[in-house]
Amino acid sequence: MPTQIRFVEPMYALAVRKLPEGPDWLYEIKFDGYRCLAGKDAGGVRLWSRRGNDFTSQFPAIAKSCEDLPIGTLVDGEIVAIDAEGRLSFNMLQHHRSQASAIRFYVFDVLTFAGRDMLQEKLLKRRDALTDAMRPIRKASSVVDISQTIAAPAADLILAVTELGFEGVIAKRLDSLYESGERSGAWVKYKINKGPRVRHWRLHTGQSVRRRDRRLLPRRQVTLRWKSACRLCAARQARDHGEDGTPEDRSLSVCQSPREEKDSMGADKGGNERLPVVKS
């Protein structure tokens, strides 16, 4: 009998004052947006907020893109808005009905994959399943994508996040299970910037950068490569780099390495859930 997808309370990150280091941890960018779970079963697609409120009608473009998920799949991620200058905008997110083209959904975990419960699987295995689940969506949509992980020393990562204006960093233990509703410390969040001010860059290892950007990070550790996340930046990229982009070029993301295909953990602003209010 087909699996009926139901809401599962998401796992939360514990706030810390020092970012943990070592080979047992995986790093992700912390975005400032709305936590969202998206599920598909035989009845269609549903979106839920972190508290279980229905988001489906409020974000129709995301729901439409998630129709390409396998039946019996539930994913966890963050809804954000990107303005014309490439910055994250919580204000635009609150007024998303009039700013639909700015909305993006970055997925970082999978709770159920094609009817299989993934909650007791370790993080890396869930990430592999997430890549499989998201492959059809990534080919067809620029609205929904995987939020990627980062391979970099903690000090360099903090420097990059500070310079680029992301809200902070999420660190997850590689062996962590998905603990629904828990803040166990297997996931932690390290906040850096109070105000989102994101530019269209992607962290890479071993890639070249333009001269004026080399001041941001030590070249031998982590370098930056410009990527587009909106029409304005796409035009600039076409001018500077040629029109050879892929769907990845339209995403705002931070990647780990060539072995992993394009995930971010974040909380609703201030840790509270507030549904967008639209004035008529």
Instruction: Please tell me the predicted confidence (pLDDT) of residue 96.
Output: 72
Considering only CA atoms, which of 46, 106, 53, 107 is closest in space to residue 71?
Answer: 46
Tokens matching residue 193: 């910037």
The rounded distance, in Å, linking the Cα atoms of 196 and 93 is 12
What are residue 103's DSSP bridge partners? Answer: 81
Which residue among 30, 40, 189, 227 is the active-site one? Answer: 30
The yes-or-no verdict on residue 113 having pLDDT over 50 is yes
Within 13 Å and on the Cβ side, how many CA atoms surround 6?
Answer: 2
30 is catalytic: yes
Indicate the DSSP class of residue 186: S
Instruction: Please tell me the predicted confidence (pLDDT) of residue 252.
Output: 35
Tokens matching residue 204: 């890479």
User: Which pTM does this prediction carry?
Assistant: 0.69
Do residues 215 and 196 lie in contact, with contact meaning Cβ atoms separated by under 8 Å? no
Q: Which of 50-54, 114-118, 158-162 has the lowest mean pLDDT?
A: 158-162
Instruction: Please tell me the predicted confidence (pLDDT) of residue 139.
Output: 86
Which residue matches tokens 């907020």?
49
The yes-or-no verdict on residue 128 having pLDDT over 70 is yes
Domains and CATH numbers, the chain: 21-265 (3.30.470.30)
